[in-house]
Amino acid sequence: GENVEQHPSTLSVQEGDSAVIKCTYSDSASNYFPWYKQELGKRPQLIIDIRSNVGEKKDQRIAVTLNKTAKHFSLHITETQPEDSAVYFCAANPGRRALTFGSGTRLQVQP
Amino acid sequence: ETGVTQTPRHLVMGMTNKKSLKCEQHLGHNAMYWYKQSAKKPLELMFVYSLEERVENNSVPSRFSPECPNSSHLFLHLHTLQPEDSALYLCASSQEGGEGYTFGSGTRLTVV
């Protein structure tokens, strides 16, 4: 089955710095790669996604890059703010069906 | 409201009880899922229903029994659970292929 590896498991940055979270996947049939943000006590919410026919996508301070050859994709958050503190999950859709999630990255932005 | 509603929000049950979790989606999606979230395995897929037909069961113990009567409703029937089954159970829905995945608020289950 699909295996989605996510690193790092925890990340602490100073406010205003950038944060990068990386994921790798194993199933070359995967064609959809979303990122979710989960705040404490709340449901995971989609923040950005990318499809396999695109190499990069940006939405304000958030960007995602995809390298299909290497089977890895990354989330980049610039100018981090305290409200960016949360757990972030990457995901892929092996066999183009249900999402398989990474193990999560706890991001803490220090004011 | 995101369009995916789960009830109850919290549930405490004994190991001999029988209870059910309910999920309802109003997004017109044709696939629904159950996930288990715990400290050990952050988002673990349990069941997948596509067009009301179960298409995947990730080796989940038989004490968990899903039911999908139509494309808008999904249930998870629980019986003779173990304390290690205590976790947050999340329902999600999407279009085919996983796009537009939307989660419900989850049911925090405690087995005593």
Could you report the per-residue pLDDT of B12-39, keeping only the tens digit for each? 999 888 999 999 999 999 999 999 999 8
Most A CBs within 10 Å, among B101, B103, B105, B108, to test the A interface: B101
Give the C-alpha separation, A83 to A25, whole Å.
28
List pLDDT tens digits, range B57-82: 778 999 999 999 998 999 999 999 99
Q: Which residue of A has its CA nearest to B42?
A: A103
Band of the pLDDT at B41, cuts 50, 70, 90?
confident
Could you say which residues of chain A have pLDDT below 50? none
Q: What is the pLDDT of residue B1?
A: 52
Percent above pLDDT 70 for chain B: 98
Q: Does A6 touch chain B (CB under 8 A)?
A: no
Give the C-alpha separation, B32 to A59, whole Å.
28
Contact B85, B111 (CB under 8 A): yes
Give the C-alpha separation, A104 to A6, whole Å.
7
Chain A neighbors of B56, CB-CB under 8 A? 97-98
How many other C-beta atoms lie within 10 A of the C-beta of residue A64? Answer: 24
Contact B47, B66 (CB under 8 A): yes
Measured at the alpha carbon of residue A91, what is the angle toward residues A110 and B55, in degrees to the nearest 5? 145
Residue A111: strand, helix, or coil:
coil
Q: Does A14 touch chain B (CB under 8 A)?
A: no
Q: Test A100 with B45 for CB contact under 8 angstroms.
A: yes
How far B26 CA lies from chain A's nearest CA (Å)?
A: 17
B42, B56, B102 member nearest A98 (Cβ): B56
Percent above pLDDT 90 for chain B: 75
Give the C-alpha separation, A96 to A31, whole Å.
7
Chain A neighbors of B105, CB-CB under 8 A? 42-43
Q: Is A6 exposed, middle or buried (0-12, 13-18, 19+ CB in 10 A)?
A: buried
